[in-house]
Structure 1
Amino acid sequence: MNPIITKILYALLTVFIIWNIGMVLNGFTRKVYARVNKRYGIRIYQPYIDLIKNYSLDTLVYHGVMYYLGPIFRLTSGVGMVLFIPLIYGSEIFSNFSFAGDAILILYFMFFGTLGMALGSNETGQPYSTIGVARGLAQVTAAEVPLVLAFLSVFIQNQSLSISEIVSVQQGGFMHWTMWTNPMATATAMLAYLGSMMRSPFDVVLAPQEIPIGPPTEYHGSFLAILSTNRPIFAVAKTILFVNMFFGGATNWGMFILKATTLYMWSVVTGTIYPRFRVDQSIRFFLKVPLIMGLLSILLLQFM
């Protein structure tokens, strides 16, 4: 078989695997939240049922071209990240389309979906949607400042923009992980990770304790299904990125699932403990401690 076709097929298989991992984690997370609140909660496979139901529904609502493209941009962001992130170190099959400098492209993909979603939601003219978009863009921008600083610190430390090369440096034992060789950057990234996952205390966009706002208010049926398809992919893709950058990557699927699940649960546990911030509190949080830590992580490299 043509090597390019083989590469594409394995890339699609990777997306399918990541989507299923994300769907199971999504159901498990909702179960955890329910049990913490002394409820039984949904069945873990309920997200699959919801997705099938939404894909079976049509909509006659039309708000403009961007309204249709918003969910597509969002899905492209998640799938694009998976396609260019090497999943299993040393595996030619599951290295996907990674290349030298792929870390920069992936950082663009992280913001691409958020921007597309903002443009699509604003197309409706609904004031509640505008409120959600304004909140989301403000928080994402604030959270990405320390995130980029943490990543920049790792790039400087390893003199590389290639995720594969950064993972290779971390092989040989857990003491080689960035978590130990650059703890300040890792701590900064872990705080920024909470903001990127948008769970409590940083779920200022959906704000479930308030009136419904944001993109889910405007999208329903198959549009909502596309968003629901991307949600598990995007969450796991970000988690994989952080595992590769700070926790040594994975050399097999067992290690991959263990590390990804452990890091994913970091945001879940935090969300069950802390109540939601207000928008201004969330933005100020990222522009204080994480921002200072990110700057320190870069300055400390100059004295090492």
Structure 2
Amino acid sequence: MEFTVSKILWTLLGLFIVLNWGLIMGGTMRKIGARVAKRHGIPLYQPYIDLIKNYAIRSQITHGIMFYLGPVFRLSGGVGIFLFLPLIFGNEHWSNFSFSGDLVLILYFQFFGMLGMALGAGEGGHPYSAIGISRGLSQFTTIEVPMTLAVISIAVQYNTLSISEIVAAQQGGFAHWTMITNPFATAAAVLSMLGAFGHSPFNLVKAPNEIPIGPPTEYHATYLGVLRTNAAILHVVEAALFMNLFFGGATNWFEFILKTFLIYFWSVFVGMVFPRFRIEQSVQWFLKIPLVLGIIAIIVIL
């Protein structure tokens, strides 16, 4: 009993750290984007102000139960990934509730949040909600194909579906990282990651500056606060997932922060360089180079 309570407390502390790092990292990336565009940009603490304001507002609009469960399901997906994702290798306190085979469960949680948002949007009051649902699910499905092939490749390579064991196999120096030992799987996953983070050219669902609709408009007040909370958590844990699978994991918090920042910055950098795809362009892109790299990774490892 004492062990369980201690584990829960350490996990909650880890969630607090991840949430705050996600908010800080989000503000930093928006600042970088503004400087690239020769603007001053927001203060780094702006995400905190936005979150407080959203949670302080009460919504007076009713669309139905499922509409409001959408953000809850979305947050459950992000928190679910966190709960079963080891953060710091070799530290029992920061291993969370990881277990043998946790990689499969985490892949399910990645899709869980997207499906929850689709169900919520389907009960929304906007006539174009179905367009957003079809965009999001079409793109995310094609993202999952090369990503799954990459995961299968490294699972065969390390003969395990445990993230902790995959990280353990990469210890001993840079040469042992999956990035070096399985470059095709890494390339397929890193390209898929661009769509998972949702920056340009793959930010089709929200399409900022083009379509004045989408989750940030349809969901407001506390519900938008829940979505923003999930975004802060999800960006960090997804970056941590790629860090564990392909870049050697982290043995301390400094290494965790540095690697997750660089991984997330990769998607932001690409978003600054390339304009937005149309949905058919996005789907075709993921089914070309990333898919081919994923297939090659399977063939090579077998």
TM-score by length of structure 1 reads 0.98
Q: Are 2:262 and 1:244 aligned?
A: no
Distance 2:129 2:50 in 1: 23
Distance 1:295 1:169 in 2: 23
Q: Within 5 Å, give how 1:16-35 maps onto structure 2.
A: 16-35=16-35
> Is this contact kept in 2: 1:121–1:129, CA < 8 A?
yes
Distance 1:21 1:36 in 2: 22
Which residue pairs with 2:11 in the alignment? 11
Which residue pairs with 2:62 in the alignment? 62
Which residue pairs with 2:117 in the alignment? 117
Q: Within 5 Å, give how 1:67-106 maps onto structure 2.
A: 67-106=67-106
Letter in 2 for 1:53: K
Which residue pairs with 2:161 in the alignment? 161
Cα deviation, 1:71-119, whole Å, max 9, x if unaligned, reads: 1101111111111100010000000000000000000000000000110
Moved over 4 A (4+): none
Letter in 1 for 2:80: G
> Is this contact kept in 2: 1:155–1:161, CA < 8 A?
yes
Cα deviation, 1:206-260, whole Å, max 9, x if unaligned, reads: 1113122322221000000000110010111100000000000011111111111
Unaligned runs of 5+ in 2: none
Which residue pairs with 1:152 in the alignment? 152
Which residue pairs with 1:281 in the alignment? 281
Cα deviation, 1:4-59, whole Å, max 9, x if unaligned, reads: 00000111111110011110011011111111111111111101001100101011
Cα deviation, 1:118-167, whole Å, max 9, x if unaligned, reads: 10111114123222221111110111100111111010111100000000
Distance 1:31 1:133 in 2: 30
Distance 1:136 1:45 in 2: 30
Distance 2:79 2:301 in 1: 34
Which residue pairs with 2:189 in the alignment? 189
Letter in 2 for 1:7: K
Unaligned runs of 5+ in 1: none
Distance 1:257 1:217 in 2: 31
Q: Are 2:53 and 1:53 aligned?
A: yes
Which residue pairs with 1:130 in the alignment? 130
Distance 1:4 1:87 in 2: 18
Percentage of identical aligned residues: 57
Distance 1:125 1:142 in 2: 28
Distance 1:107 1:142 in 2: 14
Distance 2:132 2:247 in 1: 33
Q: CA RMSD in A?
A: 0.9
Which residue pairs with 1:272 in the alignment? 272
Distance 1:277 1:32 in 2: 22
| Secondary structure of 2:97 counterpart | coil
Which residue pairs with 2:300 in the alignment? 300
> Is this contact kept in 2: 1:23–1:232, CA < 8 A?
yes
| Secondary structure of 2:128 counterpart | helix
Indicate the larger mover: 200-209 or 291-300: 200-209
> Is this contact kept in 2: 1:132–1:215, CA < 8 A?
no
| Secondary structure of 2:114 counterpart | helix
Distance 2:57 2:176 in 1: 50
| Secondary structure of 2:160 counterpart | coil
Q: Are 2:210 and 1:210 aligned?
A: yes
Which residue pairs with 1:37 in the alignment? 37
**How many equivalent residue pairs?**
302
> Is this contact kept in 2: 1:131–1:213, CA < 8 A?
no
